[in-house]
């Protein structure tokens, strides 16, 4: 057995344990909210299940509730026959519902909303841990400054066009203040706001309005994104700006002879601002071995030197220096964390139903994709999986409150309509509506899971390296 196999195996087991703990825990917390609220309000609880479908195993509690683990780990449910008839999902009830006392409208609302409320409380608890422990953040992820403008962009059909950012005149060093009126606080805000945008020109082409700060002057620039990549997301061809710090210089290399030292922060090459590794690499490659003037920040002072001319094999060889960027630990408040996730969740849902958006169901993640991201987050570290779990719980809370039959919001809608009309909705109508939406819901899960699997297969196939001139967004 290879000495590397055991640590890898243990790492995977630990990652899977964390996935089950936090993914399953998120579902459990949601159902626990319904359960505790129902018990508190005197509602009869017949069954508490994690997962749907046939049971794997179950037991009867002293409180008379059947607790079970079911085979389909796509959610869970608490059987409350007094509140909602969900026999198509939860199975037949063993109690005579007509013999149970009626439940008030207020109790129904409280019990239905309790699941989402518990997800938010769970997210707040995890966010509080991050608030105290801090979360790592690189200068790249925290940046709102453009560090690279790609000259070209590869479209979904693999053809190349001039990048929208280059066409619009965006420049290295521009600070993005807002996009489509939404304030920008970090690079992920930029990515998500562009992707979920829905504005279009009169002839139907995607349109995005950038508000930028250029050397103290606030400018408004219209940029026209193109659909790029396998997922056909809106992209404009920019990448983040961040400091480039030398971590080490190979002894005897051209870089050492030129004067590079560890901890130098590269500022300019041949007078061009360098705040992105792609720009650095392109300038070195495009010089074709010619002399390059370098300005670095060393011990708080600007220092200038030159990279001498290179000939022969040295023209194509790297300079043999290690580069990194700055890292810090941030302590965002729990409420800010929840608010940020909620805003992006609502924005994504809005773009999903907006007719002018380029976001469709195929671009969402189902259980397979969520499990995969959970696994990657677990491998990245404990704080990372906490961050993703917060996102999942905020998503669960908001999604479950949508007024869609079968979901909590749908049950609240039925109860509200019954309250307004002064009598219960016809049971046949409720069952037919819920059965229809059960089919639609599971069809959607299967549909998005197909694309999740396709992404996994595609990402594990060998790919040609991305062109150096292409930008990340």
- H runs (alpha helix) in 318-466: 334-353, 367-380, 382-400, 408-421, 427-459
Domains 138-240 and 244-324 share a fold: yes
At residue 194, the pLDDT reads 96
Contact between 444 and 361 (Cβ < 8 Å): yes
Tell me the pLDDT of the chain (473 aa) as tens digits.
445 555 554 556 777 777 778 888 898 899 899 999 999 998 988 888 887 778 888 888 888 889 988 887 666 788 888 776 555 555 555 666 667 788 899 999 999 999 999 999 999 999 999 999 999 889 999 999 999 999 999 998 889 999 999 999 999 999 999 999 999 999 999 999 999 999 999 999 999 999 999 999 999 999 999 999 888 999 999 999 999 999 999 888 888 889 999 999 999 999 999 999 999 999 988 888 889 999 999 999 999 999 988 887 666 667 889 999 998 899 999 999 999 999 999 999 999 999 899 998 888 888 888 888 887 888 888 899 999 999 999 999 999 999 998 899 999 999 999 999 988 888 888 888 888 988 898 899 889 989 888 888 888 766 554 444 556 67
Picking from 470, 387, 473, 394, the residue whose alpha carbon sits closest to that of residue 190 is 473
- Tokens of residue 176, six digits: 């993005």
Residue the block writes with tokens 């906490």: 386
Secondary structure of 149-203 in HEC code, one letter for each residue: ECCEEEECCCCEEECHHHHHCCCCCCEEEEECCEECCCHHHHHHHHHCCCCECCC
Distance CA 243, CA 147 (A): 9
> 86: Cβ–Cβ under 8 A, 6 or more apart, which residues?
77, 79, 406, 434
305: β partners: 294
Picking from 150, 146, 204, the residue whose alpha carbon sits closest to that of residue 179 is 146
Distance CA 115, CA 402 (A): 13
> What are the structural domain ranges in the chain?
17-134+384-459, 138-240, 244-324
- Tokens of residue 328, six digits: 């810090």
**71 phi, psi to nearest 5 deg:** -75, -30
Contact between 267 and 301 (Cβ < 8 Å): no
**What is residue 97's DSSP assignment?**
G
Contact between 170 and 214 (Cβ < 8 Å): no
> 465: Cβ–Cβ under 8 A, 6 or more apart, which residues?
none
418: β partners: none
Contact between 311 and 289 (Cβ < 8 Å): yes
Distance CA 177, CA 339 (A): 19
CATH fold of the domain at 244-324: Pdz3 Domain (2.30.42)
CATH fold of the domain at 138-240: Pdz3 Domain (2.30.42)
Contact between 30 and 119 (Cβ < 8 Å): yes
> 100: Cβ–Cβ under 8 A, 6 or more apart, which residues?
44, 81, 82
Contact between 302 and 266 (Cβ < 8 Å): no
- Tokens of residue 36, six digits: 């505790």
227: β partners: 234
**What is residue 136's DSSP assignment?**
E
- With the C-alpha atoms ordered 183, 187, 193, 199, is the resulting torsion angle positive or negative? positive
Distance CA 350, CA 140 (A): 28
């Amino acid at each position: 057995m290879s000495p590397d196999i055991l640590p890898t195996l243990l790492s995977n087991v630990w990652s899977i344990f964390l996935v089950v703990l936090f993914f399953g825990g998120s579902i459990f917390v949601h159902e626990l909210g319904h359960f505790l609220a129902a018990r508190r309000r005197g509602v009869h609880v017949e069954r508490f299940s994690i997962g749907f479908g046939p049971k794997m195993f179950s037991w009867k509690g002293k409180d008379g509730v059947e607790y079970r683990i079911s085979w389909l780990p796509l959610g869970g449910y608490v059987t409350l026959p007094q509140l909602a008839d969900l026999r198509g999902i939860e199975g037949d009830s063993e109690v005579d519902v007509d013999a149970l006392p009626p439940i008030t409208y207020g109790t129904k609302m409280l019990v239905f909303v309790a699941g989402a409320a518990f997800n938010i409380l769970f997210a707040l608890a995890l966010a509080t841990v991050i608030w105290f422990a801090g979360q790592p953040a690189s200068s790249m992820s925290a940046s709102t400054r453009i560090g690279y403008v790609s000259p070209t962009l590869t479209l979904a059909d693999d053809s190349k066009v001039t990048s929208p950012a280059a066409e619009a005149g965006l420049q290295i060093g521009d600070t993005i203040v807002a996009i489509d009126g939404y304030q920008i606080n970090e690079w992920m805000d930029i990515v998500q706001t562009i992707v979920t945008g829905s504005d279009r020109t009169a002839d139907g082409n995607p349109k995005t309005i950038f508000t930028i700060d250029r050397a103290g002057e606030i400018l408004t620039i219209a940029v026209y994104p193109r659909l790029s990549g396998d997922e056909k997301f809106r992209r404009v061809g920019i990448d983040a700006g961040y400091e480039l710090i030398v971590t080490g210089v190979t002894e005897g290399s051209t870089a050492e002879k030129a004067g590079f030292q560890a901890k130098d922060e590269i500022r300019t090459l041949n007078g061009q601002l360098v705040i992105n590794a792609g720009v650095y690499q392109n300038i070195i490659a495009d010089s074709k071995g010619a002399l390059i003037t370098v300005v670095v920040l060393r011990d708080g002072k600007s220092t200038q030197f030159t990279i001498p001319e290179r000939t022969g094999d040295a023209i194509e060889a790297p300079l043999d220096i290690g580069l990194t960027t700055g890292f810090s630990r941030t302590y965002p408040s729990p409420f800010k964390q929840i608010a940020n996730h909620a805003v992006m969740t609502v924005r994504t849902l809005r773009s999903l139903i907006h007719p002018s958006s380029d976001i469709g169901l195929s671009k969402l993640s189902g259980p397979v994709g969520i499990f995969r991201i959970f696994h990657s987050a677990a491998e990245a570290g404990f704080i990372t999986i906490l961050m993703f779990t917060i996102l999942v719980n905020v998503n669960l809370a908001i999604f479950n409150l949508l007024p869609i039959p079968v979901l909590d919001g749908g049950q609240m809608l039925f109860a509200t309509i019954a309250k307004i009309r002064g009598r219960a909705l016809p049971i046949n109508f409720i069952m037919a509506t819920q059965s229809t939406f059960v089919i639609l819901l599971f069809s959607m899960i299967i549909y998005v899971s197909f694309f999740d699997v396709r992404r996994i297969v595609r990402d594990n196939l060998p790919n040609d390296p991305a062109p150096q001139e292409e930008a990340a967004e």
